[in-house]
A and B are shown apart, each in its own frame.
Chain A
Amino acid sequence: MNELIFQERIDSERKIEPKDWMPDDYRKHLIRQISQHAHSEVIGMQPEGNWISRAPSLRAKMILLAKVQDEAGHGLYLYSACETLGISREELVNQLHQEKAKYSSIFNYPTLSWADMGAIGWLVDGAAIVNQVSLQRTSYGPYSRGMIKICKEESFHQRQGYEIMAEMAKGTSEQKEMAQDALNRFWWPSIMMFGPHDADSPRTGNAMKWKIKRQTNDELRQSFIDKTVHQAEIIGLTIPDPELKWNEERGHYDFGEMNWDEFWNVVNGNGPCNKQRLDHHKKAHEEGRWVREAAKSYAQKQLKK
């Protein structure tokens, strides 16, 4: 009975709110998806944080710092949305540390040059935007509202990255080489952000039925590629895919096959920075324990006064 009412609600585009009845699987699916989204924002602070101290101008430094700060904020919005489903922040952090929860694989790649800041802003944030715009219409209320807020703030992130790439591409020959190199390293991981092909993605069925997801992996990936090819052409950089070609019949770009071995390796923990990212997060968490305990202890003392 509840299932019918629930599905009717979903079908009529009404939002599901925290206190509403929901199938256990819907709740579990959301916890997994929202928490992984949150973890991604937080872990994503590391590869970009890596270049804050070395930003080449005051303006670049302030913009990058503001961007990474936004990402922390997005993590917080998402943890909040996730907690409304009945799980605590502590549990979520534990799941991350125990590798029971994942985060977006793109952040397991190292940032090796300043141009990577451009590539990440342009491609990674660009891909995230495609995904997030779609998620604004997700069925779970708190998640949808979080996404709307995030999308409002995200637009400057992609522009920041694209501007860096554009400037470097028309700068000195060393700068142009640096920018092209960053694009070469981040292109494939970026399109892999959209996940496996629809046919290889077992959870897509429920996600679409419950309107958690509004578009499939392949649909979103295609949308991103179509937008980005032209952007690369304008600034004079080459996307490292020899099979990239406009298909007049489909009205979309055809593109080469992704390296699925690499994809699954990185997803399963065998990527260049997996260990480093998690160790960093664990270390910060451990080293901050005495601070958190002090704050709690102080607060408790105030209540007793």
Chain B
Amino acid sequence: MDLLKYTLRIADSSIILGQRLSSWCSKGPTLEEDIALSNLSLDLFGQANALLEYASELDGTKSADDFAFKRNEREFYNLQLTEQLNGHFGDTIVRHFFFSVYSFLFYSKLSNSKDETLAAIAAKSLKEIKYHLTHSKSWVVRLGDGTEESNKRIQKSLNNLWQFTGEFFEMDEIDQKMYKEGIGVNNSSLKSEWDKIVNTTLKQSNLIRPKDGYMQSGSKNGMHTEHLGHLLSEMQFLPRAYPDAKW
């Protein structure tokens, strides 16, 4: 069912990115940033939960936890960017910055969805994502315009993750259908604004926008990088090992 798959796509990016960020716990560069990253993670899990609850309603049989813990890699539709490794703090910040700009623009449009549930979730998430954007943007600027070393490192992060930014703006049949029905967002229309925000930030930070080249693709149909499998093994282990248990 198209609305279900559409909802899962949004939910999955949130849960996978939330999962990645939660690994920073006790590893942050400062205790303050440790708390900040956990906050971002919690927001994303909250969004994922709301969306998976809706998916559960649409599906009629599976629960939100079933969707989270019992689907396999080819049934997840998160953007490939979200499953990339945390790397060092710069890698995490760039991943979050790219995602937050997109998410901010996406949720802004989705808050006007004809689907009331998606519109409400989008409106609530938008409040949180604004903070994600501010936070990650501030760090891009600090690291870009900090020391020579930080500038070098974060430039590399930008170059490495750039190939995952194409997926934000793809439209397949389901997207087209949802958009036509007034439910979904026209992803390709988000690109010029995304570019503007990213370009301004990079300029402000002494950083160079990477050249467009090969763009990764496929998550809309459950095609992923090799990272997702490992992430899910860890995340789903307990419910799969104890299928009869309630937690």
Contacts and interface: CB of A to CB of B under 8 A. Distances in A.
Q: When A and B assemble into the complex, do they touch directly, with CB atoms less than 8 Å apart?
A: yes
Interface string A26-59: 0000000000000000100110010011111111
A171 B149 contact: no
Interface string B10-41: 00000100010011011111111111001101
Interface stretch (B125-133, B193-201, B213-221, B238-246): B238-246
B65 interface: yes
B150 interface: yes
B245 A60 contact: no
A174 B245 contact: yes
A61 B45 contact: yes
B52 interface: yes
B42 A58 contact: no
Interface in B60-110: 64-65, 68-69, 88-90
Nearest to A69: B38
Contacts of B27: 280, 284, 287
B186 interface: no
Contacts of B239: 56-57
Interface in B143-164: 143, 145-147, 149-150, 153
Interface in A56-100: 56-62, 65-66, 68-69, 72-73, 75-76, 79
B242 A65 contact: no
B147 A175 contact: no
Nearest to A66: B42
A52 B25 contact: yes
Given A60-B247, A65-B38, A298-B146, A54 B234 contact: yes
B41 A58 contact: no
A291 B89 contact: yes
Interface-central residue, B15, B35, B41, B247, by most chain A CB under 10 Å:
B247
A68 B246 CA distance: 23
B46 interface: yes
B42 A65 contact: yes
A110 to B, nearest CB: 15
A289 B29 CA distance: 7
For chain B, give the interface size range: 35 or more
A288 B28 contact: yes
A297 interface: yes
Contact of B45 (A46, A58, A280, A289): A58
Q: Kindly state the interface size class of chain A when it binds its partner.
A: 35 or more
Nearest to B240: A56
Given A42-B31, A72-B38, A291-B29, A114 B238 contact: yes
Contact of B238 (A54, A68, A291): A54
A34 B117 CA distance: 48
B235 interface: yes
Contact of A46 (B26, B39, B48, B245): B26
Nearest to A293: B147
A167 interface: yes
B242 to A, nearest CB: 6
A294 interface: yes
A294 B31 contact: no
A254 to B, nearest CB: 36
Contacts of A175: 242, 245
5 contacts: A53-B22, A58-B48, A284-B28, A291-B89, A298-B142
